Amino acid sequence: MRIDIKEKRFQDKVLFRDASFSFPEGRCSTIIAPSGRGKTTLMRMLCGLDRDFMGSVDGMPRRPVVLFQEDRLAEGISVLSNLMAVTDDRASALSMLSSVGLEGEERSLVSTLSGGMKRRVAIARALLVDFDALFLDEPFSGLDEATKRKIASLILRVAVGRTIILITHSEEDAALLSSSSAVRL
Amino acid sequence: MTSTIQDRARRAVAIAFWLIIWELASLLIGEELFLPSPVAVVMRLFSMIGLPGFWSSILFTLSRIISGFVLSVAAALLLAVLSNASRTASFLIEPIVKVIRATPVASIVILALVWISSRNLSVIISFMMVFPIVYSNVLEGIRNTDGKLLEAADIYRVRRVKRIRYIYLPSVIPYFSASVKAALGLAWKSGIAAEVISLPDGSIGERVYEAKIYLSTPDLFAWTLVIIVLAFLFERFFLLLTAALSRRIEG
């Protein structure tokens, strides 16, 4: 996957000019930078959510799935209902919930969960969807070290052989997913 | 739990307080024509229950106000969805909603009497009073659906039916419940007002008007009590219905 950007503006600010980035298919790559450098914007251009730029993307994934920086869950419904929105297979949804350490929480309203639990529901939902490329925007925010390792191992297991693009400000998070290449902004 | 019991006790005390004030005021005035006592009103109500026409009047008015309300909610939901989907539809419906909101009930009643029979006037009036409230609230609920959640639904390729079930409905239900609560009272007030003006045979409105003509103030109070109880029960029923719907949507 390769993106060539002639120019990308965000409001009046030029974020990228005459820039190119490549990401190997079927492996994990990292876009790493401090806050405010355009990591999320670059991800959105790569997966087709942001087409408002001069340039092109070669090998854009046909079935991208994004774990957004915000959890983007429906707060007023149960954990299981959030998962059932993306799958028809209740057993898979329950199994994924168990994999992220939330067994027994399927009936809980999302609005009653802690920040870390909501993050895990968002991760479970993203991993239930079929994808050819998985974009993870700060996937481990709000999680403790042990849970980070458990979730990283789950992601690598589910996404085996498929492209993963990790967007993070943390070298440690990149190491958790055994990232093979990095783009630094 | 304790605070709920305390609140209920406080409400009961407040009701008792006002009933005592009413009884005292009635004793002070000493004239049933101006202000019958609560005891006289309740006794009159019990004597009315056995009279021919009592239950049929209730059935007549209840069926019409419920019909107007249900039809209005259905139309408001349909048109709110349409308005959200099409700007043209939204621009077409908006002036009608504004006109209905601003027009006095009496004007609508008299105008409607020119077009339709007085028997079904309360259906039209409760329909017209409920429609703008439910339409505006539901439309606001749809428009306030989290855009980021919808973007996530796009990327997760969530089907249309599931979007409605898991994203739009949870967003709209609180707006819908609030609007139904506000509209129910208005449906009753405007429906009865329409009947008092148009006097369809066998309606509660006709009974209220007769009480006024024959200077039977206890009858007037008793029928008003009936209306209040009906409106209260109707409201409880619909709120229980929307609460059950909410629980089902929560999953």
Q: Which helix (H) or strand (E) holds A136?
A: strand A133-137
CA pair distance A151, A126, nearest whole angstrom: 12
pLDDT grade, residue B87 (50/70/90)?
Answer: very high
Return the pLDDT at B2: 65
Angle of helix B54-85 relative to helix B121-143, nearest 10 degrees, comes to 30
Q: Is the pLDDT of residue A18 over 70?
A: yes
Q: Is the Cβ pair B148, A72 closer than 8 Å?
A: yes
Widest CA span in chain B: 74
Cα separation, B27 vs A81, in Å, equals 61
Q: To the nearest whole percent, how much of chain B has pLDDT over 90?
A: 76
Phi-psi region at A68: left, alpha or beta (left = phi > 0; alpha = psi -120 to 50): beta
How many CB atoms are closer than 10 A to CB A133? 23
Cα–Cα distance for residue pair A169/A151, rounded to 1 Å: 18
Q: Which of A40, A63, A65, A86 to mutate to test the interface with B (most CBs of B within 10 A)?
A: A86
- Comparing A167-176, B21-30, B78-87, B133-142, the range with the smallest average pLDDT is A167-176
Q: Which residues of B touch A66 (CB under 8 A)?
A: 152, 155
Mean pLDDT check: name the lowest of B15-19, B31-35, B203-207. B31-35
Contact A84 B170 (CB under 8 A): no
CA distance B46 to chain A (A): 46
Q: How many whole angstroms separate alpha carbon B247 and alpha carbon A159?
A: 35
pLDDT tier at B95 (50, 70, 90 boundaries)? very high
The arrangement of secondary structure in A1-63+131-185, i.e. its CATH architecture, is 3-Layer(aba) Sandwich (3.40)
How do residues B21-40 score in pLDDT, each as one tens digit? 999 999 999 888 899 999 99
- Work out whether the CA dihedral A89, A91, A97, A103 comes out positive or negative: positive
Chain B nearest C-alpha distance from A86 (Å): 6
- Listed in sequence order, the residues at least 6 apart from A1 whose beta carbon sits closer than 8 Å to its beta carbon are A22, A23, A25, A46, A57, A58, A59, A60, A61, A133, A163
**What distance in Å separates the CA atoms of residue A146 and residue A100, rounded to the nearest whole number?**
12
Tell me, what's the pLDDT at B1? 54
φ and ψ at residue B196, rounded to 5 degrees: -65, -35
pLDDT tens per residue, range B149-166: 999 999 999 999 999 999
- Which residues does A contribute to its contact with B (CB < 8 Å)? 47, 49, 63-66, 68, 70, 72-74, 76-78, 80-82, 84-86, 107, 109, 125-126, 129
- The shortest CB-CB distance from B156 to any of A65, A77, A80 is to A65
Q: What angle do CA B78, B82, B88 make, to 5 degrees?
A: 145
Reported as type and span, the H/E element at residue A164 is: strand A163-168
Q: What is the pLDDT of residue A11?
A: 83
The residue among A119, A86, A121, A116 whose CA lies nearest residue A106 is A121
The Cα of A163 is separated from the nearest Cα of chain B by a number of Å equal to 16
Nearest CA in chain B to A80: B251
Q: What is the pLDDT of residues B223-233, one digit of tens each?
A: 999 999 999 99
Residue type at B192 in one-letter notation: I
pLDDT digits (tens, 9 = 90+) for B100-126: 989 888 888 888 888 888 888 999 999
CB pairs < 8 Å spanning A and B? 62
